[in-house]
Structure 1
Amino acid sequence: MNRRQFVNALGILPFAAKGLGAQSAAAQGAQAQGTASVPIIDTHIHLFDKTRPGGAPYPRDLPGGGEPPQGMIAVPGRYKAIVSPFGVVGAIVVEASPRLEDNQWILDQAASAPIIVGLVGRIDPADPAFGKNLERFHRNTLFLGIRQGQLHLGLDKPEYMANLKLLAEADCSLDVDTPRQGMTATEVLVKVLDKVPSLRLVMDHLPDVRFPDRAIKDNYVAHLKELGQRPQVYIKLSEVVHKSGDKVSTDLSTYKEWLDELWSIFGEDRVMFGSDWPQSESLEFNSYPNVIGVARAFVATKGPSALDKVFWKNAGRPYRWVQRGPGQRKA
């Protein structure tokens, strides 16, 4: 996979990126987004600092090639400088590190950064100390829930399911990195919600799911449609722009068929925008303008109300995010 250095926050424009046409969906979308009145909530970013004592286990493959500060540091100030021109007023951090204390590091970073309106942390439901850890971090109002994978390993473990019930009772949500959970992910999630029906579920990165054959896709989508019937299930319009073969396309037509299928299942009330920053800048010609541009170009085909919901209002449905600064109004 080709890697490029992280773009300079204020120097990147969609028309300047090599290989992008002036009339690309990304360019049109990003240009329009820059003047939009919708106060955008980005529901999926990552923060880390691999130069701090102890470093950070994420990301393993640095998009910036390992050169500080861009390649090794992703902090609120840098993020804000990049996204402010696009009308982003708040962001929800999703913790990718499995280390318990990295949850606290994120909360410490967020304390002086009002642009961070919430954290989806990382606490393992298989840990006997889950309840204690949840209580500890949930004392901070920015702690909104957890992200967890490998849920199939806990399906038949009463203590695991009991901890997910604790999560739901705390009014927290569960995020799942869906593409990384394999082709049985949707089937597993149906079973999880059968056991914990009150749990709010957020499926990350569904636009990036790839199917090896039609039969596998049909089974996956059948369970996805079952999830679509459950009002507490939400999806993110994240990892929309990705690599196919040896190229990264910023043409909406590359992704629209699958996006339309997802939209038909979840509709405009249960889809949220997430940039996956800074990973969204890890592919050649990929950048925040392209990511938000392609996403906006797609949602614009669904009408003005859809833009308001996907980029702003819907974030408040699964996430109890915190208003911390001017412009961060809730729907």
Structure 2
Amino acid sequence: MRIDAHQHFWRYQVDDFPWIGKNMACLQQDFLPQNLAPARHACGIDATIAVQARPRLDETDFLLDLAETDASIVGVVGWIDPEADDLEAQLSRWQSPRLCGFRHLIQDEATPSDYLRSKHVQRSVQTLQHREFSYDVLVTAAHLPATYDFCAACDQHTLILDHLGKPNIKGSELDAWRREFMRLGELPHVACKLSGLVTEADWQHWQPHELWPCLDVALEIFGEGRLLFGSDWPVCLVAGSYHDVFALIDDWAGERGLDKRKLFGLNAQHLYGLRAIEPTSEESPT
């Protein structure tokens, strides 16, 4: 089974998505499984992991409800509040086997590094890890030093770094990113999503081979077994189509002689602890 390990669904309401600015007008609409299906099928992607895009408990409910009615959603990375005092009560509301992990928009915190180093936040993520939930880490390159501290403290289960830690490709400021990114690779429980690069580059003028050096760094540091393909659809649409993003990773992996079974599925199944799943030829009705 070929899996896209990072994409989003939403019913658009302006107040729910303050991060969608005027320069992202193409995202100001609904994006649901039926909207993704044609592009996904065209690229030979059988299934996806739906990742939260709003910091609300009902975001997790929304994604799990979609997963109940659409068999292509084999995993959900939901939202939970690591700063809350009632974490166990929050967790008790979900029993779905499709719930494989959680994420918070750490990059949107007022002081992301302080958030990452918060002992309360770290204890909450450790609680999730003890329950064998993965945790997606969404940060920018500026926060990678604190990300290392966070990941070192939360070492009981898988952590997955989204979007290669968002290197500043447009500004060509990659030396510091590489240095801190390399440290994360030393932690065996940390994996990395090959996702989100096109939106860190010049949206109108990026070229695939300009992004390959970042992919090469990720391969060097994490190896084939800790890398996952993610489209970041529909966010990627501000800079390119689903096929553009798929081809970026697929062509690079082919040129480097990688085992695409791992990159496009097996690693996601293992790292997210997905239940036994089989490919489906038809979508369930939504």
Question: Is TM (by shorter chain) over 0.5?
Answer: yes
1:78 equivalenced with 2:35 (yes/no): yes
1:124 lines up with 2:81 in the alignment: yes
Normalising by structure 2, report the TM-score: 0.85
> 1:301 — aligned with what?
255
Match for residue 140 of structure 1 among 96, 106, 114: 96
Could you say which structure has the larger radius of gyration?
Answer: 1
The answer on whether the counterparts of 2:135 and 2:159 sit within 8 Å (CA) in structure 1 is: yes
TM-score in terms of structure 1 length? 0.75
* Equivalent residue, structure 1, for 2:267: 314
Cα offset, 1:132, TM superposition = 1.5
**In structure 2, do the counterparts of structure 1 residues 62 and 155 end up closer, same or farther at CA, with 3 Å as the change threshold?**
closer
CA contact (8 A) 2:168 2:201 kept: no
- Name the SS for the 2:91 alignment partner: helix
> Gapped runs of 5+ residues in structure 1?
1-38
Taking a change above 3 Å as real, the CA distance of residues 75 and 58 of structure 1, as seen in their structure-2 partners, is farther
| 1:203 Cα deviation from its structure 2 partner | 0.8
2:20 maps to which of 60, 64, 67: 60
Q: CA deviation at 1:279?
A: 1.1
Which whole-Å CA distance do the structure 1 matches of 2:171 and 2:43 have between them? 38
Q: Which amino acid aligns with 1:300?
A: G
| Percent identity of paired positions between Structure 1 and Structure 2 | 25
Counterparts in 2 of 1:202 and 1:62: CA distance versus 1, 3 Å: farther
Partner of 1:186: 144
- d(CA) in 1 for partners of 2:267 and 2:133? 16
In 2, are the aligned partners of 1:117 and 1:323 still within 8 Å (CA)?
no
Counterpart in 2 of 1:262?
218
Partner of 2:65: 108
Cα separation, 2, equivalents of 1:207 and 1:146: 17
Deviations 1:245-300 (A, max 9, x none): 57332x322112222122111111111100001111122xx101111011111111
- Deviation of the 1:92 alpha carbon: 0.4
Q: What is the identity, as a one-letter code, of the residue corresponding to 2:279?
A: P
Distance 2:120 2:198 in 1: 38
Q: Give the secondary structure class of the aligned counterpart of 2:93.
A: helix
- The whole-number CA distance in structure 2 between the counterparts of 1:64 and 1:82 is 20
Amino acid at match of 1:50: Y
Write out per-residue CA displacement over residues 168-189 of structure 1, whole angstroms, 9 at most, x where no aligned residue: 101011111232xx51x22112
In structure 1, what is the Cα distance between the partners aligned to 2:60 and 2:50?
10
**2:203, 2:258 → 1: CA distance?**
35
CA offset at residue 199 of structure 1? 3.3
Answering whether residue 113 of structure 2 is matched by residue 152 of structure 1, we say yes
Counterpart in the other structure of 1:225 = 182
Matched to 1:319, the amino acid is Y
The alignment covers a number of residue pairs equal to 276
Structure 2 CA distance, aligned partners of 1:241 and 1:219?
A: 20
Using the TM superposition, give the Cα deviation of residue 164 of structure 1 relative to its aligned residue in structure 2, in angstroms: 1.2
Give 1 or 2: higher helix fraction: 2
Q: What corresponds to 1:205 in structure 2?
A: 163
RMSD: 2.8
* Structure 2 Cα separation of the partners of residues 302 and 245 of structure 1: 24
Q: Deviations over 1:15-45 (max 9, x none)?
A: xxxxxxxxxxxxxxxxxxxxxxxx3200001
Shift of 1:104: 0.5
CA drift of 1:226 comes to: 2.1
1:291-329 deviation line (CA, Å, top 9, x unaligned): 101111111122152x1211121112320224454359x
What SS is found at the alignment partner of 1:190?
A: helix
Residue of structure 1 equivalent to 2:284: none
Q: 2:11 pairs with 34, 39, 49, which one?
A: 49
Moved segments of 4+, more than 6 Å: 211-214
Residue 154 of structure 2 is matched in structure 1 by 196
Match for 1:47: what amino acid?
A: F
Cα distance, 1:326–1:259 mapped onto 2, change above 3 Å: closer
Higher deviation after alignment, 139-148 or 236-245 = 236-245
Which consecutive residues of structure 2, in runs of 5 or more, have no partner in the other structure?
A: 282-286
Partner Cα separation in structure 2 for residue 324 and residue 292 of structure 1: 22
Asked if 2 retains the 8 angstrom alpha-carbon contact of 1:91 and 1:116, the reply is yes
Q: Distance in 1 between matches of 2:66 and 2:30?
A: 12
One-letter amino acid of the structure 2 residue matched with residue 57 of structure 1: F
SS of equivalent to 1:118: strand
